Amino acid sequence: MEKNRWLKAGLWGTAVTAICCFTPILVWTLGILGLATLTGSLDYVLFPLLGIFIAITIYAAVTRRRTESPRRQP
């Protein structure tokens, strides 16, 4: 159950961060909220965050695959 939680968190985080990285949704939202001055530093936050979420997703997928695959007996 814990591994599924990590996988879901990684996938959701990757999707949301990718949408914010590659579309102007976050820039528009910050502009509407009056925080448009923060848009210059978004790359310093979003790209490392995207990398972290991708790493979490890969880690969860690998550990899930290791626990689900049966080991062969000689």
User: Which domain does 18 fall in, by range?
Assistant: 2-68
pLDDT tens per residue, range 9-29 = 999 999 999 988 888 888 898
* DSSP states along 41-61: GHHHHHHHHHHHHHHHHHHHH
Assess if residue 45 is contained within a domain.
yes
Contact (CB, 8 A) for 56 and 4:
no
- pLDDT greater than 60 at residue 8: yes
Q: Is residue 12 part of a domain?
A: yes
Q: Give domain status of residue 10, yes or no.
A: yes
pLDDT bin (cut points 50, 70, 90) of residue 72 is low
Average pLDDT, integer, range 68-74: 64
In a domain, residue 74? The reply is no
CB-based contact 19:49 (threshold 8 Å) = no
Domains in the chain: how many in total? 1
